[in-house]
Structure formats: structure tokens, C-alpha cells
Amino acid sequence: MLPIDVAAHGSRWRRRHPCEKAVLGLGLTVCAVALPPWPGALLVAVSAVAVMLGPAGVAPRQLWRAWRIPLGFCVTGAVPLLFQVGGPGGFVALAPEGPAQAGQLLLRTSAASLGVLLFAFTTPVSDVLPRLVRAGVPAPVVDVALVMYRISFLLLDAVARIRQAQAARLGLTSRAAAWRSVAGLGATAFVRAFDRAARLQNGLAGRGYDGTLRVLVPAAPVDRRFLAATAALLTAVVALTLVLERLM
């Protein structure tokens, strides 16, 4: 399993209803997008990090390892705003408002990604997908997503084993050998994906699959106190942002 999935399954909020955590995480994400980037996005980021490291019990190292990837995309998207093409400054020059716009975009996107990570670190996908049927999502779509989610871990494990075997056979000693190993890895993973899919289809047919995957969803009542605390946190972030914006 991926580290973020392991953390979600072992989270302190594992037994809470996914709706509660969705309201909190996605609410912070909406605030990061809708509020002014300064100081709104900064307050959202601080709130999300405080909740994850505090009540949610996410380890700081796990949070950084998961956040650095979307943070890289945020930085990549903000860098082009620093430059302009054409104009009196030459073919490529620094944009007059580039640093401010890049900083605002970086604040918004990084804070929004933290809100999404808050939901991901506390809610396993296996808890969310079966409940989507009650929300109106067609059952076949949910079944396909659930099967793909489960088979993806098998394929990742197979890829890791193949890569380890290639390294043990000195398949990564040179650039040419590494490219051959990558090509062999892709071909083998492609064949194994079809093999896994065929075995899964045969297994479902042998168990009387009628078009619906029935899974046991653990009971998780909605905690109104948690929702009230979430509403209070979001209201405080919005109010503090508006107050600080007027003072600044």
C-alpha cells in the first residue's frame, strides 16, 4: 500500500464518517480558493497543518513526503507568472506584477492541496467508494473504481518486485541497461495487468457476480459536535481573513 493509504487506515479519525472529514477538508480547500490569498490562504494552510499534526495524528514526516509532490506542481505553475514574453524588456523579461501573482497562486494552490491531504490522510478510499452509491453515483461506476483501486496495489507490488529483480541482475548498471530494464518492466507490467484482470473476472464469475459488488460498510454515525467544531473553524478562518485584510 502507499504510505498515505497506510496512514489513512491507521488514522485516529479512521472510524469517523467520511462526510465529517469531507466537510472539514474540502471546506478548507474552498476557503483557500475563495478567500484572498493573503492572509486567507496562509490561515487555511496553518489550520490544515495544525489539524493534521494535532487531532488527526499525522506524522510530520509523512505529511511532508506527501505534500512535497503537489507542492512541486504548485511551484511549477507559479514560476511562469514571473516572466512575460515580448514587450519593451525583450523577448523574455520579468513581468511587472509577476512576483506578486506567483506568490498569490503559490499560496492558494499549496493551501488547497493541504485541505485535500487532510481528507486523504484521514479517510481510506475503501470507506468512501461504497458510500457513493447512496449519494447517487451509478453502482457500476463505483464497482469499477473499487476494483481498479484494489488491483492497483497488486500491480504496484508486482512492479516493485520486477524492479528489484532487475537490480539484482545488474540491469541498472549503465544507461543502456537501465533503458532496457524500463522497457522490460513496462512490457511485463502490461502483461501482468491483463492477467490479473482475467483472473479477477474469472473469480467474480465463479462467485456468482450479478453486476454489483456487495461490500460490508462499517457503521459510522455522523457526529454533530465534530460538524459544529468544523463550522466554527471555517467561520473563524473567514472572519479572521476579512479582519486582517481590512487592517492591512
Give yes or no for residue 86 having a pLDDT over 80: no
By the 10 Å C-beta count (0-12 exposed, 13-18 middle, 19+ buried), 189 is classed as middle
DSSP string covering 27-91, please? HHHHHHHHS-IIIIIHHHHHHHHHHHHTTT---HHHHHHHHHHHHHHHHHHHGGGGEEESSTT-S
How many whole angstroms separate alpha carbon 197 and alpha carbon 214?
Answer: 19
pLDDT at 129: 78
Please write the tens of the pLDDT for every residue from 112-132.
999 999 998 988 887 787 777
- Ordered by start, the domain boundaries in the chain are 3-123+221-247, 131-206
Please write the tens of the pLDDT for every residue from 150-178.
777 778 888 888 888 888 887 778 888 88
Rounded to an integer, the average pLDDT of 196-201 is 78
Return the C-alpha cell found at 106.
503559490
Q: What percent of the chain has pLDDT over 70?
A: 93
Please provide residue 217's backbone torsions phi and psi, each rounded to the nearest 5 degrees.
Answer: -100, 120
Distances (CA, A) of 211 to 138, 140, 144, 150, 188: 12, 7, 10, 17, 30
How many whole angstroms separate alpha carbon 52 and alpha carbon 113?
Answer: 13
pLDDT at 232: 93
Instruction: Say if residues 99 and 82 touch (Cβ distance below 8 Å).
Output: yes
* Residue 86 vs residue 176, higher pLDDT: 176
How many whole angstroms separate alpha carbon 230 and alpha carbon 243?
Answer: 20
Please write the tens of the pLDDT for every residue from 213-236.
666 667 778 888 999 999 999 999
Give yes or no for residue 195 having a pLDDT over 70: yes
* Residue 188 vs residue 43, higher pLDDT: 43
Please write the tens of the pLDDT for every residue from 7-32.
888 888 888 888 888 899 999 999 99
pLDDT at 207: 72
Helix residue ranges per DSSP H, 79-174: 98-122, 125-128, 139-168
